């Protein structure tokens, strides 16, 4: 089976592997077979990129798995309870807000009430971890620019990372940003700093992340995000936006507004007196705009207030250029969707790459239109939701620069021992592995 965007006449990766997968499917619990099938159809390139072992791992991440943890907490002695924590991405929150016609703040308040009613202890805003990711990516780009080790390609899109590691290997992986995604930074923060603050063992925390993308389930299974010393993962379960909406519906709720509001957690929050705070830029986290502004100031002493995009091949492939006296100083691009990603890869392979930095996303229109969202054409069981409505909700936040997040800045000293420290590298960065020859290996 190939994905809709695959341009290969014949996918060699599927040869000799269908038998392995069909045999493996018998090992998966019946109530998860459809779940696994939907994951395979939502992969960036094709189901041939996902091994049988990976298929088992992602099948373990579902609302049913979360419900089992909740039920176990209710049955067992309190001393054996797991502290259930849910982190909600800004893209998922925007889609849910648009679906129910609510503001982002009201959406967060209603979701907090709903999840607490299920047995979730803490609900956090993933925008907080995005601040870490943006700052680290800014610094990484400036350092690599000065070292001459460009281009730098974002690695926050896990579908793109799967494609890069397993299809193009060492050609692409040296150019991937080592910064962890916001999902994995939040996992690191919770399983290390938060666990110590709450005086609980890291393994007693069950961390769930709500994301717009199925591929994020794969990212959570990376061995790079496995803590050998305690035998746990930084993220235990990833639910898509659509899966969370189905949980609401399965609890008999036709509207999120039917639930009483609850005050969201203030720890790891991007909420203040004016409402929810967010980032400028596109719905992939704003990497291009934040890194561009920072690099223009740090490297060339130029303050950029207005980002002017030039559309290239299509609306999902755009560039931004910084010039002085007719000379190009910085050339950045945003490339969304599989065909544009392929174009970026081919330019790099042919040594005809004109960009210093590229913000990459596997989905056309970026993360706001991820396969796990509740937008038109992505989940036929859910009502159609125009992408424009999701974008409007996403951009309704008050913008805030990551460097103005006082709590996060304090964590650099109290948790990480300062910017650029070994702890900073260990908790906020990762590595990538050329794996194009592997048949059954995990990430």
Q: In this structure, what is the dihedral angle of CA atoms 396, 372, 187, 264, given to the nearest 10 degrees?
A: 40
Q: Are 212 and 241 in contact (CB under 8 A)?
A: yes
Task: Output the domain CATH number for residue 151.
Answer: 3.40.950.10
pLDDT in tens, the chain (443 residues): 334 444 444 444 444 334 333 333 333 444 454 544 444 444 454 445 566 667 777 778 899 999 999 999 999 888 789 999 999 999 999 999 999 999 999 999 999 999 999 999 999 999 999 999 999 999 999 999 999 999 999 999 998 998 899 888 889 999 999 999 999 999 999 999 999 999 999 999 999 999 998 889 999 999 999 988 888 999 999 999 999 999 999 999 989 999 999 999 988 987 765 567 888 888 898 999 999 999 999 999 999 989 999 999 899 999 999 999 989 999 999 999 988 999 999 999 988 899 999 999 999 889 999 888 875 444 444 446 788 999 999 999 888 889 889 999 999 999 999 999 999 999 999 999 887 554 434 44
- Kindly state whether residues 106 and 157 are assigned to the same domain: no
Per residue, what are the HEC states of the chain?
CECCCCCCCCCHHHCCCHHHHHHHHCCCCHHHHHHHHHHHHCCCCEHHHCCHHHHHHHHCCCHHHHHHHHHHHHHCCHHHCCEEEEEECHHHHHHHHHHHCCCHHHHHHHHHHHHHHHCCCEEEECHHHHHHHHHHHHHHHHHHHHHCCCCEECCCCHHHHHHHHHHHHHHCHHHECCECCHHHHHHHHHHHHHHHHCCCCHHHEEEEEEECCCHHHHHHCCHHHEECCCCEECCCEEEEHHHHHHHHHHCCCCCHHHCCCCCCCCCCCCEECCEEEECCCCCCCCHHHHHHHHHHHHHHCCCCCCCCCEECCCCCEEEEEEEECCEEEEEEEEEECHHHHHHHHHHHHCCCCCCCEEEEECCCCHHHHCCCCCCCCCCCCCCCCCHHHHHHHHCCCEECCHHHCHHHHHHHHHCCCCCCCHHHHHHHECCCCCCCCCCCCCC
Note whether residue 409 is domain-resident.
yes
- Kindly state whether residues 105 and 147 are assigned to the same domain: no
- Kindly state whether residues 104 and 231 are assigned to the same domain: yes
pLDDT attached to residue 98: 94
Note whether residue 203 is domain-resident.
yes
**Is the alpha carbon torsion for 164, 165, 167, 168 positive or negative?**
positive
- Kindly state whether residues 249 and 197 are assigned to the same domain: yes
- Kindly state whether residues 201 and 313 are assigned to the same domain: no
- Kindly state whether residues 97 and 204 are assigned to the same domain: yes
- Kindly state whether residues 191 and 171 are assigned to the same domain: no
pLDDT attached to residue 251: 92
- Kindly state whether residues 173 and 292 are assigned to the same domain: yes
What's the CA gap between 157 and 227, in Å, rounded?
A: 22
Number of domains composing the chain: 2
- Kindly state whether residues 30 and 157 are assigned to the same domain: no
Note whether residue 6 is domain-resident.
no
- Kindly state whether residues 253 and 273 are assigned to the same domain: yes
- Kindly state whether residues 102 and 205 are assigned to the same domain: yes
Range of the domain at 35: 12-127+180-279+405-428
Strand partners, 429: 179
- How far is Cα of residue 175 from the mean position of the Cα atoms in its chain? 19
Final residue in a domain of this structure, among 346, 369, 392: 369
Note whether residue 437 is domain-resident.
no
- Kindly state whether residues 22 and 155 are assigned to the same domain: no
Task: Output the domain CATH number for residue 38.
Answer: 3.40.50.1780
Note whether residue 175 is domain-resident.
yes
Note whether residue 258 is domain-resident.
yes
- How far is Cα of residue 386 from the mean position of the Cα atoms in its chain? 21
């Amino acid at each position: 089976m190939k994905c809709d965007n695959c341009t290969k006449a014949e996918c060699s990766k599927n040869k000799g592997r269908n038998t392995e997968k069909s045999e493996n499917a018998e090992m998966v619990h019946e109530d998860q077979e459809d779940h696994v099938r939907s994951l395979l159809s939502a992969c960036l390139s094709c189901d041939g990129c996902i091994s049988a072992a990976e298929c088992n791992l992602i099948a373990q991440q579902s609302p049913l798995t979360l419900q089992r943890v909740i039920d176990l907490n209710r049955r067992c002695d309190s001393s054996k309870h797991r502290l259930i924590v849910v982190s909600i991405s800004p893209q998922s929150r925007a889609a849910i807000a648009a679906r129910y016609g609510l503001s982002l703040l009201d959406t967060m308040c209603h979701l907090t009430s709903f999840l607490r009613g299920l047995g979730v202890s803490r609900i956090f805003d993933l925008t907080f971890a995005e601040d870490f990711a943006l700052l680290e990516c800014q610094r990484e780009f400036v350092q690599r620019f000065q070292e001459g080790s460009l281009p730098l390609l974002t690695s926050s899109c896990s579908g793109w990372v799967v494609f890069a590691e397993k299809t193009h290997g060492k050609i692409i992986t040296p150019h991937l940003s080592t910064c962890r995604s916001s999902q994995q930074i939040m996992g690191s923060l919770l399983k290390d700093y938060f666990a110590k603050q709450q005086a609980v063992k890291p393994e007693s925390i069950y961390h769930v992340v709500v994301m717009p993308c199925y591929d994020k389930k794969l990212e959570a299974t990376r061995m790079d995000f496995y803590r050998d010393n305690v035998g746990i993962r930084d993220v235990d379960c990833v639910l898509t936006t659509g899966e969370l909406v189905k949980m609401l519906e399965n609890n008999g709720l036709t509207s999120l507004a039917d639930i009483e509001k609850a005050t969201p957690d203030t720890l790891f929050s991007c909420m203040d007196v004016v409402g929810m705070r967010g980032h400028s830029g596109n719905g992939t986290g704003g990497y291009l705009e934040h890194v561009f502004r920072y690099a223009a100031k740090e490297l060339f002493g130029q303050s950029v207030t207005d980002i002017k995009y030039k559309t290239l091949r299509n609306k999902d492939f755009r560039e931004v250029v910084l010039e002085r006296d007719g000379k190009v100083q910085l050339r950045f691009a945003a490339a969304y969707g599989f065909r544009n990603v392929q174009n970026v890869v081919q330019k790099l392979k042919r040594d005809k790459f004109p960009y210093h930095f590229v913000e990459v996303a596997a989905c056309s229109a970026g993360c706001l239109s991820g396969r796990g969202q509740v937008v038109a054409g992505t989940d036929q069981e859910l009502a159609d939701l125009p992408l424009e409505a999701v974008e409007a909700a996403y951009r309704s936040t008050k913008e805030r620069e990551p460097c103005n997040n006082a709590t996060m800045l304090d964590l650099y000293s109290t948790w990480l021992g300062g910017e650029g420290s070994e702890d900073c590298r260990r908790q906020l960065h990762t590595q990538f592995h050329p794996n194009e020859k592997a048949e059954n290996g995990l990430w």
